[in-house]
A and B are shown apart, each in its own frame.
Chain A
Amino acid sequence: MKTLLLLLVATAAFGQQPPPQEDPIGQQLFPPELIMSQSQKLHLDEKQRTTIKNEVQRAQSKFFDLQWELKEASDAMVQMLQQTPIDEARVLEQADKVMGLEREIKKIHLSMLIRIKNSMTAEQIGQLRQLRGGR
C-alpha cells in the first residue's frame, strides 16, 4: 500500500512538471559574438573573419534604422493604449506596423545567422555546439 501511495505521489509530481523552455530554432544558429570570442579555438581563417565582419556590418546598418522606426511605432501604440476608450481599429492598424517592422528585423537577423553558419566548417560547428553546452 505504501508503494502504491508513493507511486501516486510520484505520478502526480511528474504530471505537474512544467514543460522545459526550448529554443529549437536559436539552438541551430550561432551568434557572431560567440564565434568571434572563440576565434582562436575555432581557427577562423581570414576569409571567414571577413565574411562574418561583412555580414554583421550589413545587418547592423539596416537594424539601426529599423529599430529606430520600431521604437517610434511602439511608442505610438503605447499612447493609443493609454486612451479611454481604446480605439481598437487604430491600435490594430498600428500593431500591424509594429509587427511588420519586427518581421523585417527578424528576417535580416536570420539571414545574417544563416550566412555566418554557412561560412563555418562542420568541425567548427561541432566545436561551437560544444562551447554552447553540448546542444
Chain B
Amino acid sequence: MNDDRLHDAFKELRRAETAHVPSFKRLWDVEPALSRLRSRLRVGSTFAFAVVLLIVLAVAIIPRRPAAPSISTWRAPTDFLLQTPGRELLDSVPDLKGTRQ
C-alpha cells in the first residue's frame, strides 16, 4: 500500500466518523441549556432528600399512641389482685409423709 492510498483510506475514515459527530456549534449552543438542566436536577434531588429526611424525623420524633394490645394478650390492670397469698393451698394437697422436698 503506497502513501496516497493510505492517505485516501484515512480521509475516508475521517469522513465516515465526522458524519456521526454533532457539529461544534450545535454543542456550543446546547451547553447552557444542559447546564441549567443539571443544576435543576441537583436542586431537585437535594429537595427530595430533605423532604424524605423530614418525614423520617417526623415519624421518629412525633409521639405516637401506644399500639392497642391484642385482646388475647391484654391483662386487666387489677388482675394481680387475684394472686392472693395462700392461693396455692387450693391447688395442692399437704405433704403429710414429708416425702417432698
Q: Which residues of A contact B (CB under 8 A)?
A: 4, 7-8, 10-11, 14-15, 18-19, 21, 23-26, 31-33, 56, 59-60, 63-64, 67-68, 71, 102, 105-106, 109-110
- Interface residues on chain B, number (Cβ under 8 Å): 23
Tell me whether B90 and A105 are in contact (CB under 8 A): no
* A15-B59, A19-B67 known; A106 vs B77 contact (CB < 8 Å): no
Dominant SS among interface residues on chain A: helix
Tell me whether A23 and B87 are in contact (CB under 8 A): no
Tell me whether B59 and A56 are in contact (CB under 8 A): no
Tell me whether B49 and A25 are in contact (CB under 8 A): no
Tell me whether B59 and A26 are in contact (CB under 8 A): no
Q: How long is the Cα–Cα vector from A31 to B80 in the complex, in angstroms?
A: 11
Tell me whether A23 and B77 are in contact (CB under 8 A): yes
Within 8 A of A (CB), among B50-69: 52-53, 56-57, 59-60, 64, 66-67, 69
Closest to B81 in A: A106
Tell me whether A4 and B84 are in contact (CB under 8 A): no
Q: How long is the Cα–Cα vector from A19 to B68 in the complex, in angstroms?
A: 9
Tell me whether B80 and A26 are in contact (CB under 8 A): yes
* A8-B56, A14-B60 known; A60 vs B86 contact (CB < 8 Å): yes
Tell me whether A105 and B81 are in contact (CB under 8 A): yes
Contact of A31 among B56, B57, B85 (CB under 8 A): B85
Tell me whether A25 and B90 are in contact (CB under 8 A): no
In the A-B complex, list the 3 residue pairs whose CB atoms are closest, starting with the nearest: A106-B81, A26-B80, A109-B81
Tell me whether A64 and B80 are in contact (CB under 8 A): no
Closest to B86 in A: A60
> Which A residues are in CB contact (< 8 Å) with B77?
23-25
